[in-house]
Structure 1
Amino acid sequence: MPAADRDAAYRHYVADVIIRHVTKDGALEITEGYRQLRAVTGKSLGTVKNWLTYRANFPDLPSLARIIEHYKIPPESFYPAALDRLLAGASSDADPASPQPSEMADLPIISLYRPGDPSSSDRALTKYTDHPRAAVFYRQAGSDMLDQIRPGELVLVDPTCEQIAGSGMYLLRFSAAGQANQTAIRMVEVVFGEPMVRLSCGSAMPPTSVQMIPLVNGQLPSNIAVLARVVGHLRQI
């Protein structure tokens, strides 16, 4: 097996071992497992996702030691006697498309990858995002972005973007005590010289729909989560 394939297979294997223990073999929701793992390691959600969702790299040694100690994982689990056979199986059976972040698991999303032919999707998507294998289509549900996005239109989003990275269009989740979460696409404009952003709906919506949101240490308030950045829609692709 080529070294690159073996490294990728081992990242998947390590992530699967950790997820099995973090979720107590599926008894715990993955979102809660990630929250606890952040507390155990002191790492950000983005870092934890890079380990377990995108399988982009391994946990650093101090974090891995904390994980092993906290979850009582036998250290030999990370290098079992049958590792070569396990990796061979992981390499041949692995889905080439990266799994999607758990926050988006309940949304109407569509994967863009076909089994056995990831290269063509890579070529098509790299003009829109640096993370083509994470990109998915999200179907616009409402009419609040009229003129920009039509109801029911497929929107290409990059879920590796978990914070505001400049002005643009983002898929956001709004939460409020005692109310159901709302997921919506919004235009986000970084206000120059001010610690805030301007959120707005489509140009067909009244000006009263514009919200000025203060940033806290450069981040949105905790009741607004960035799920993805919009990088294209069906009329452009």
Structure 2
Amino acid sequence: MASEILVKGTHVGFSRGSRIVFDNAAFEVSAGQRVGLVGANGSGKTTLMRLICGLLEPATGLVTTFGQRASRMNLESRRKTSLFLGGEASLYGRLTARENIQYFAQLGGMSRSESRNATRSIMSALDITWFADKAIRETSRGMRQRVALARALVHQPELVLLDEPTTGMDVEGVQLFQDLVASEVLRGTAMLISGHNALELTEICDNYWVTSNGTVYPAMRHTLDLLPNLPAADALRQALCGVRFV
């Protein structure tokens, strides 16, 4: 049985002023799929995530998320979609780490008791418990990044868009994130994850997109030769060198 398509973009065009970001781009994300997104700065990675979650409207074409026009998703679909952009910018500095995570869990539709349990669980998974009751404004960048990730994942959404989620993290934080993504808790969650470290993305993704020249180039491990000759694509080829294809 084919996997349910959660995100679909057809003939998508988007510009900023005179600069074309996307021109007739097409893409899909299926349920449970892990997609790594690579590309140069300014190639449209963050813009693509904003289009998918409905924060931006394409100038041409259509982006649907959970079968609805992304910019017009109903509350149920928005609760099933989680966006991580810039990490700490999404947090409330005066609230503690625990309070931030639990607040967003309830915004995601969880009851008070469900949110408490889910908050405890994800704080343990990302090693946040030891600073759980410290105000966010008193924490380090790496700590805030962990809390922002917990905030995005705590209510177990069906679709998660993560823009450079491990920026500012130490090696331990990166490993904890990779372990969480691979865990049973998030096994059915579809993810679009951007980053500049192609090797890191290969640890958690099974499909890849390369953004360049207004286009989203799809690639799987067995179709690497179809990628264009672009620096980001070359980095992805090198990262996948020696990895057993699935």
TM-score, scaled relative to structure 1: 0.28
Structure ID, larger Rg: 1
Structure showing the higher strand proportion among its residues: 2
